Structure 1
Amino acid sequence: MFLGSAAAPLELEVISRLPAQAGDKPPLLFVHGAFAGAWCWEEHFLDFFAGLGYPSYALSLRGHAGSAGRDRLHWNRLADYVTDVAEVAVGLGERTILIGHSMGGMVVQKYLERTPAPAAVLMCSVPPSGLMWSSLQLMWRDPMLWMEMGVITHAGPQYGSRSLARRALFSPDAPDAVVDRLMNRAQEESSRVLADLTWADLPAVTLVRRTPLLVLGAEHDALVPPSEVLETARRLGAECEIVPRVAHVMMFEPGWDRVARRVAGWLARQGH
């Protein structure tokens, strides 16, 4: 499915999975992280939540995967991605619940500045304070990984290796085939957006806090460590949980079902 409008003429890829029978559960909109696309949710999460009765949608932000705008990817700003989410969310209706991963978590936070939602989930999200502190922590903990991540950030994921991807993104339990599947689909990311994520376009916390939030982190996350996740939850006044035995791409690797069940349980407790 592709969505477009006169105000935002780019066609956006939206992958959907609908429940077998119509019900009254709200739609879920999944927002991917940097270097990725809607495909990262198609692996497991869309079918899982559709099976629970939630109409489930994942968009590819402009310049990503099947969405238009790849030729202008490096001109994108974080605000452009927020506009993409807003366009899709409006089409799904005011009951839409947003779920963002990594960079997508920051996109969701910036969206919530504009428009409160019934609920939102941030998974291994960029903190509201930006990536500066996380980057400094990584440089201190693992300077080689920090340097390698700098290379792929500026030159593209094609300069990465399976070893790098495993250390940065996956838990020890992830098979090589799963690591390779993600690496084969990873793409470049806008350097302007990465600057926005670091310091240039951070969210107004008091506005984000209007929405009930669940903040999830991963025990083995090398990029957004549990300490940063806990601080994100504290600043946003959100519920928080660190999921054991998973890493940064928690919706893609073995253990994804434990993550999904935690999200589903929280949504049920919120009355959704």
Structure 2
Amino acid sequence: MTTRVIRPDEWSDPPPSVKREVIGVQPEGPATGPPVLFVPGFGQGAWVYAEHWLERTAARGFPAYAMSLRGHGASGSAPKSGLRAYVHDVTQVAAGLPRQAVLIGHGAGALVVAMALARYPVKAAALVAPVFGGPLAAVTACARNPLGVLPAAFGGRLRPRRGQLFSSDLPAEEQRNYLARRGRASARAQWQLCQVRAPEEPVGAPPVLVVGSPDDGLVSRADLDRVARRYQGAPLLFPGMGHDLMLDARWAEPLDAILDWLEKNA
């Protein structure tokens, strides 16, 4: 991995400003850890972390924040935005926090976080069920769910199946409710995800944890291993869970493991 020193497009053609949704929960007592910024994947917003993870993170002494990328959740509309604009959103929100932050990204949001690591010096980062994209990953995703994935490559909505996102332990009604709340990324960002190259090297070599499930219907075990190797580690696995670990029935287990890791490494 390499890091570019000069990025002329960052100052000559910056992404347009948009309203950014950021939800925060503070510890009841003194903060014992750095602020944690959660970044959702494509089609999801800050609400996916507000369901469970924000409160529990704050209860462990970490100021907890969740954001929505532009065009997602309650953030401003940006139908033509691409990955660069999403990375800009993350770095801007992180830089505005009172202390150097930990970044945690899920799905394609993990790729956005990985790209942001080359621009913002984090305390640490966690990549949850990371979708790093690229042509091979796009072909694999289409093979697993052609009707739900192929239209997204041509500007349509990405439609993962319930069985890919959640385990059977989560009640069907909750699964349907979560699916109904999904939005969509821009067509440009979805197309870029199919072609994206590997992220650049993080600034300052922060510790990076990769978390996932071998039963994830979207991210294979091989993909988890591949991403973890990029950061000189092995994935922390939670069998029996779906892709959306923060919403699945056993949501507390991966979060507690991440926070335990942060207490030792951030």
Query: What's the secondary structure of 2:161's corresponding residue?
Result: helix
Give 1:86's match in structure 2, choosing from 76, 91, 103. 91
Q: In the TM superposition, what is the alpha-carbon distance from 1:9 to its structure 2 partner?
A: 3.2
Do residues 21 (structure 1) and 33 (structure 2) align? no
Do residues 31 (structure 1) and 26 (structure 2) align? no
Structure 2: 5+ residue runs without aligned partners?
1-13
What does residue 118 of structure 2 align with?
Answer: 113
Do residues 214 (structure 1) and 209 (structure 2) align? yes
Q: Higher relative contact order at CA 8 Å, sep ≥6: structure 1 or structure 2?
A: 2
Q: Contact 1:13–1:60 at 8 Å: present in 2 too?
A: yes
Q: In the TM superposition, what is the alpha-carbon distance from 1:7 to its structure 2 partner?
A: 8.4
Give 2:251's match in structure 1, choosing from 250, 256, 260. 256
Give 1:133's match in structure 2, choosing from 132, 136, 148. 136
Q: Contact 1:215–1:239 at 8 Å: present in 2 too?
A: yes
- Closer, same or farther: CA 152–30 of 1 in aligned 2, 3 Å: same
Do residues 76 (structure 1) and 81 (structure 2) align? yes
What does residue 50 of structure 2 align with?
Answer: 42
Range that drifts further, 246-255 or 183-192? 183-192
Give 2:180's match in structure 1, choosing from 162, 181, 184. 184
Q: Contact 2:15–2:88 at 8 Å: present in 1 too?
A: no
What does residue 169 of structure 2 align with?
Answer: 173
Q: In the TM superposition, what is the alpha-carbon distance from 1:10 to its structure 2 partner?
A: 1.4
The structure richer in helix per residue is 1
Which runs of structure 2 are paired with 1:235-250 in the superposition (5 Å)?
Answer: 235-250=230-245
Q: In the TM superposition, what is the alpha-carbon distance from 1:201 to its structure 2 partner?
A: 5.0
Which runs of structure 2 are paired with 1:156-167 in the superposition (5 Å)?
Answer: 156=157, 160=159, 165-167=161-163
What does residue 3 of structure 1 align with?
Answer: none
What does residue 105 of structure 2 align with?
Answer: 100
Q: Contact 1:170–1:253 at 8 Å: present in 2 too?
A: yes
Give 2:195's match in structure 1, choosing from 187, 199, 202. 199
Instruction: Give the TM-score normalised by structure 2.
Output: 0.87
Paired residues in the alignment total: 252
- Closer, same or farther: CA 148–175 of 1 in aligned 2, 3 Å: same
**What amino acid is aligned across from residue 134 of structure 1 in structure 2?**
A
Q: Between the two proteins, what is the percent identity of the paired residues?
A: 31
Structure 1: 5+ residue runs without aligned partners?
1-5
Query: What's the secondary structure of 1:29's corresponding residue?
Result: strand
Query: What's the secondary structure of 1:192's corresponding residue?
Result: helix
Instruction: Give the TM-score normalised by structure 1.
Output: 0.85
Superimposed CA distance per residue, residues 11-66 of structure 1 (whole angstroms, 9 cap, x where no aligned partner): 10101111111223110000000011000100100011011011000011111111
What does residue 6 of structure 2 align with?
Answer: none
Q: Contact 2:34–2:102 at 8 Å: present in 1 too?
A: yes
Do residues 55 (structure 1) and 63 (structure 2) align? yes
Give 1:230's match in structure 2, choosing from 225, 232, 249. 225
RMSD of aligned alpha carbons: 2.1
- Closer, same or farther: CA 186–139 of 1 in aligned 2, 3 Å: closer
Cα distance in structure 1, aligned partners of 2:202 and 2:61: 30
Q: In the TM superposition, what is the alpha-carbon distance from 1:139 to its structure 2 partner?
A: 4.3
